[in-house]
Structures are given as C-alpha cells and as structure tokens.
Amino acid sequence: PDEIRATAAHFRASRPDGAAAGDVVVFTRASADSPAREIAAMVSEYAAAGATHVAVNADERDADLKRFVTLLAREVSPLVRSG
C-alpha cells in the first residue's frame, strides 16, 4: 500500500488543473481459499492508499472461478462497502 499511496499522490499531483482526478487501478491476487475478511482487508488497504479500483484475481491457475467470483461478490464486497 505504501507504493500505491506514493504513486497515487504523484499521479494526482501531475494532473493538469481542472482535470478529473483520474483512476488508480490496482491488480492483485488472492488464494481462492482465502477467508473473505482477509481479501476485504487487502482491498480496503489499497483503497485507503488511493486506489479507486481493485481487481482481485485468483492466485491458483486451477481455481474454481465461479466459486471465487461468488466469494468476491457475496462475501467480500459487503465487507468492503461496510468498512
């Protein structure tokens, strides 16, 4: 998150006056077997550091993507929104 914080600050400081803030997108990975709270904490840390979007990919090549996406949508997302 420290690197994201520094990068986001530099990016925003470099924007022309009057320009939209712009998006800071972070791509990260998590194990499909990770607890929802751990993934939500990671996403929240990136958001607090200045990320406007966080894309979480499954760490395993053979992960059950349907189960992983369901975990993100039903369990992780509400934790991030309430945090």
* Angle of CA points 3, 1, 36, to nearest 5°: 150
- Per-residue pLDDT 10s for the chain (83 aa) are 899 999 988 988 888 887 887 899 999 999 999 999 999 999 999 999 999 999 999 999 999 999 999 999 999 999 998 76
Backbone angles phi, psi at 43, to 5 degrees: -60, -45
Distance in angstroms (rounded) separating the CA atoms of residues 32 and 65:
8
